[in-house]
A = this chain, B = another copy of it.
Amino acid sequence: MGFTAAVAGASGYAGGELLRLLLAHPNIEVGTLTAGGNAGSRLGEHQPHLLPLADRVLAETTVDNLAGHDVVFLALPHGQSGALAQQLGESVTIVDCGADFRLADPGEWERFYGSPHAGTWPYGLPEMPGGREALSGARRVAVPGCHVTAATLALFPALDAELVLPEAVAVGVTGTSGAGKSPKPHLLGSEVMGAVAPYGVGGGHRHNPEIVQNLSRVAGEPVTLNFTPVLAPMPRGILTTTSAPLRERVTTDRVRDAYQRRFGDEPFVRLLPEGTWPTTAMTLGANTTLVQVTVDEDAGRLVAIAALDNLTKGTAGGALQSANIALGLGETVGLPVAGVAP
């Protein structure tokens, strides 16, 4: 069973990670690669680590160039996916790594993105309740934001099991690749190394309403969230520390049971053995999310921490996992479970 895939935005970080994973996928062949300003250049100039594709020339990101593939992965700035999808038609499976079709509430979309709401597509987080069903056979997939995947997987089992009040706090420490490849002074190596730097503090990050949306769906009631993303000196990885007030005194064992019920059969999410806390280094290049949870008795809070690679499970790996489901392939096909360490 063979499919072909086009990748739009192939010269960026998400596009590069999609290609790395597709090169190892037994059922999907890499088709046309497109770019914006980098169209016309060799992929090797932008992704020198992808040797087998080094001499591929990047085409313009146009409907014509993307048409004729079974799957199209979009790794574009937000605002472009809707028109491309409409023109590509219903028969093509489109997996959007951008934000356009993630938020259900038009008001929230407009508040955080400042442009008209495009709609919503099936949501690419199979591990959420009902997640797989929504993706099975879907022709459209909205891949979650990287911080969103980490925060959601860290906290939703506690809300689902009604262990905590719907008042969450999260701090997501992330590597720099999530900020993309467009050069800005504060992202220079000289600035980044040695710097731990918060951004989007106080509710302003665009992943904020998306986490709230996910957690509220699972909780069945509105969840408030105070989310602070923090940039750390490493290229990849997110470690998100979440907490919420316990509804009543519970043991760590009971909390672990709730998480184990959720994640015990998941191929890409693992509750670590008690006493072991996840680190970003455990997940580099793998499509995994590692989770640990405990009870802070003095503070009366549940603390759950998740680690993942923002480019793999947080973007391109998550996209491919959802594509596997959408295309009727095995969910885990072609996706690495072992990371690269040290």
CB under 8 Å from chain B, chain A span 183-209: 183-185, 187-199, 201-203, 208
Tally of this chain's copies: 4
Q: Decide if A340 is an interface residue (CB 8 Å cutoff).
A: yes
CB under 8 Å from chain B, chain A span 46-93: 47-53
> Is A340 a contact partner of B285 (Cβ separation < 8 A)?
yes
Q: Which residues of B contact A195 (CB under 8 A)?
A: 234, 237, 279-281
Q: Shortest distance in angstroms between A291's beta carbon and chain B's nearest beta carbon?
A: 12
Chain B binder among A1-9, A95-103, A121-129, A270-278: A270-278
Size bracket, chain A contacts: 35 or more
Contact of A228 among B241, B279, B283, B285 (CB under 8 A): B241
> Is A281 a contact partner of B228 (Cβ separation < 8 A)?
no
> Is A243 a contact partner of B226 (Cβ separation < 8 A)?
yes
Contact of A230 among B173, B192, B296 (CB under 8 A): B173
Interface residues of A (CB under 8 A from B): 13, 16, 19-20, 23-24, 44-45, 47-53, 167, 169, 171, 173, 175-177, 179, 181, 183-185, 187-199, 201-203, 208, 212, 224-226, 228, 230, 232-237, 239, 241, 243, 252, 270, 272-273, 276-286, 288, 290, 292, 294-301, 303, 305, 307, 336-342
